[in-house]
């Protein structure tokens, strides 16, 4: 018997996180009698629920929100404000000495300072990003960079992230993301800071993710490439965990979001729209996901040589078989090792063959 990665279980290594992923393609035939989600994500995003004079959604223009009854401006593109219920505070004292002993191998604690912002993408609460115009998406990209640049001057890490869909825990359907900045490197950032540096030193100054996309393009016949343009590439990573997980990277060496050229910003808006149309077209639903940007550290680390870093975004969607069946991270995955059923190659081919130009709702209207 010869090994067949499309039929036989195997493990794949993720050099970015220094961990292994169990791939089990033989499980695809198992019957599903577990939880089935309501397909609540298929919103009518052609209608604008903000047309009322007194909107009830706290994120829409003119709404009153938060503990202090702040009124939103009547914004036309993006709008950024400090989270009314932040997970981080900027001005807090250090723990007392007996609670802040870094020499203690078992009990360590440090103050966590930061800021949490909310960024609304668009005034229409029902309009999702893949159905926005490229002009609106360009405003999103530019606002990301403006806020990132401002927070990067003060904090070691700036995390831009979007949770889309109630299945991902999104508490408000209005198109928005969050931007948290911390005075420390969170776990994911700390691990990638180490792994990319280790690769850089081991491979004579080569950048891990640049070597990776070069090999995806040249050595593997683009089998995991979903889409690319002049400046950007989207792949289902060889080590992907989530069923239709993707990674979005610039083709040139870029450390941080604020380093993107005008042309790269334009290309980013175009490829994001195409990717998200593909996602929605997969199961004819408003595809849920968590996504976020990772780049070189900032704040008091910005002057360090971080040339081993490469900017990238990650999309983690949970749906696996249909709009109502999602992947659960439980059991073996929580207690031993993460696992997936469909291969990354199958996921990439499926997404690649979908239209990235015409949204399924626009097909209905033609």
Task: Return the DSSP state at 39.
Answer: -
Locate tokens 């199961």: which residue? Answer: 283
In 10 A of CB 110, how many CB atoms? Answer: 12
CB neighbour list of residue 318: distance below 8 Å, 6 or more residues apart: 167, 168, 242, 243, 288, 289, 326, 327
Catalytic residues: 176
Q: Which are the contacts of 240, defined by CB distance < 8 A and separation ≥ 6?
A: 21, 246, 340, 344, 347
CA-CA distance, 257 to 283, in Å (whole number)? Answer: 31
Strands annotated E in 107-257: 114-120, 157-164, 176-182, 225-228, 232-235, 246-250
Report how far residue 301's alpha carbon sits from residue 303's, in angstroms, rounded to the nearest whole number.
Answer: 6
Q: What is the chain's alpha carbon radius of gyration, rounded to the nearest angstrom?
A: 21
């Amino acid at each position: 018997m010869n090994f067949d990665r499309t039929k036989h279980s195997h493990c794949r290594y993720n050099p970015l996180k220094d961990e292994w992923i169990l791939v089990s393609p033989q499980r695809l035939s198992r019957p599903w009698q577990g939880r089935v989600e309501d397909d609540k994500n298929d919103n009518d995003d052609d209608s604008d629920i903000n047309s009322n004079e007194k909107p009830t959604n706290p994120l829409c223009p003119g709404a009153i929100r938060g503990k202090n009854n702040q009124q939103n401006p009547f914004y036309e593109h993006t709008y950024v404000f400090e989270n009314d219920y932040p997970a981080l505070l900027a001005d807090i004292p250090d723990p007392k000495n007996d609670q802040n002993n870094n020499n203690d191998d078992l009990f360590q604690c440090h103050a966590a300072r930061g800021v949490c912002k909310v960024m609304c993408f668009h005034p229409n609460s029902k309009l999702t990003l893949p159905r926005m115009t490229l002009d609106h998406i360009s405003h999103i990209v530019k606002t990301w960079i403006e806020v990132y640049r401002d927070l990067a001057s003060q904090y070691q890490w700036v995390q831009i992230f979007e949770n889309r869909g109630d299945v991902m825990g999104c508490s408000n359907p209005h198109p928005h993301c969050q931007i948290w900045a911390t005075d420390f490197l969170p776990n994911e950032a700390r691990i990638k800071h180490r792994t990319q540096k280790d690769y850089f030193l081991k491979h004579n100054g080569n950048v891990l993710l640049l070597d990776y996309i070069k090999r995806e393009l040249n050595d593997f016949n683009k089998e995991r490439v979903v889409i690319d343009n002049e400046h950007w590439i989207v792949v289902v990573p060889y080590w992907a965990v989530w069923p239709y997980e993707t990674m979005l990277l610039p083709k040139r060496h870029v450390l941080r979001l604020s380093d993107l050229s005008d042309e790269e910003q334009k290309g980013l808006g175009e490829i994001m729209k195409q990717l998200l149309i593909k996602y929605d077209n997969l199961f004819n639903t408003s595809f849920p996901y968590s996504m976020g940007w990772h780049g070189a550290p900032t704040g008091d680390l910005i002057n360090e040589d971080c040339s081993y870093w490469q900017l990238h975004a990650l999309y983690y969607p949970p749906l696996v078989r249909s709009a109502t069946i999602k992947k659960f991270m439980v059991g073996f995955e929580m207690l031993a090792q993460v696992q997936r059923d469909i291969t990354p190659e199958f996921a990439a081919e499926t997404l690649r063959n979908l239209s990235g130009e015409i949204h399924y709702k626009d097909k209905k209207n033609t």
